[in-house]
Amino acid sequence: MDIKWIKTFIVAAKYENFRKTSEELFLTQPAITKHIKRLEENLNIQLFERNGKTIALTSAGYNFLPHAREILMKYEKGLDEFESWKQGYKRKLIIATAPQIASSILPSILRSFMDQNPDIEVFINVLKSYEIGEEISAGRADLGLTRIKPIQTNIDCHIIHEEPVILVGPTIDEGKYKYDEKTILQKYRLITHNHPDYWDHLLNDIKRSYPTVRTMKVNQIEITKRFIEQRLGISYLPYTMVREEIKMNKLLEIRPDKISLPTSSTYVLTKVETDEAKTFIGFLKDEVAKF
């Protein structure tokens, strides 16, 4: 039995349409028909009812479908484990992380961790912050790194790092201007909602002190930074997200006046703390203490 027949059957069962199946698998419709025919011949039973251009699973097809999925899952898992073995890995760690963390503190930490633990294969799954709790709860990842507390009650959550949020604006040409909080909030649009945790409370505070402030929602920090560099606005961002740009004089930190600056927390989530997750958490604690 060819694994390609199994893959074709699973996709065909999803669509009950050979044309859509051929589009997803990048195969011709005759090739799809051939795979299904060979599988039916191998199983000695009909898996699809055919009525012109339409197809539908038979009772045998419905019965075989979960077995087909299990066969494919075990096949792919076996190949993955064999490939890991070939590369010298003995253990693995799946991390679900928010994009703000993946693009700031995580790369340098990962580099050091993998250098010290060459037998651990690390998988990174970048998700929206509110999706990470579900990923851990469902057991699809060993460890989660997020900027917001999860709503799931069956997982452990604790703060691993807390940092200041600062007001960031574009750099000033040749020292011609001296920006303060009031001036820069009047001059530029305030880019908001690029962080999942602190914006609602912070924006209310800003509007109480500066009721005419103009705002623009941008839901990604990396895009926010590029917009600020191009003088499209200003924003309040976690320090680790902008420290390199400030050092390189691409962005400018503006000192607070009336606005009380929030903090940004990084949470570690686990459901069952594997040895690999425990090793990474211990390493993470040591590294973030250096920030």
Q: What digits encode the pLDDT tens for the residues 130-148?
A: 899 999 999 999 999 999 9
Domains of the chain, by residue range, sit at 3-86, 91-161+266-288, 162-264
- At 263-282, the pLDDT tens digits run 999 999 999 989 999 999 99
Residue 37 has pLDDT above 90, yes or no: yes
**CATH number corresponding to 91-161+266-288:** 3.40.190.10
Helices (H), 117-198: 129-137, 181-187
| Of 107, 98, 108, 134, the residue nearest 219 (C-alpha) | 98
- In CATH, the architecture of 3-86 is Orthogonal Bundle (1.10)
Residue pair 256/202 in contact (Cβ under 8 Å)? The answer is: no
Cβ within 8 Å of residue 167, ≥6 positions away: 181, 184, 234, 235, 236, 253, 254, 255, 256, 259, 261
Assign 229 to helix, strand or coil.
helix
**Angle subtended at Cα 77 by Cα 34 and Cα 138, rounded to the nearest 5 degrees:** 115
Element holding 20 (H helix, E strand): helix 18-25
Q: Do domains 91-161+266-288 and 162-264 have the same CATH topology?
A: yes
Distances (CA, A) of 275 to 93, 178, 272, 280: 9, 52, 10, 9
How many whole angstroms separate alpha carbon 202 and alpha carbon 120?
A: 41
Higher pLDDT, 48 or 104: 48
Q: What are residue 125's DSSP bridge partners?
A: 96
Answer yes or no: CATH 3.40.190.290 is held by domain 162-264: yes
Q: What is the pLDDT of residues 54-88, one digit of tens each?
A: 889 999 999 999 999 999 988 887 887 777 666 76
Cβ 29 vs Cβ 101: under 8 Å: no
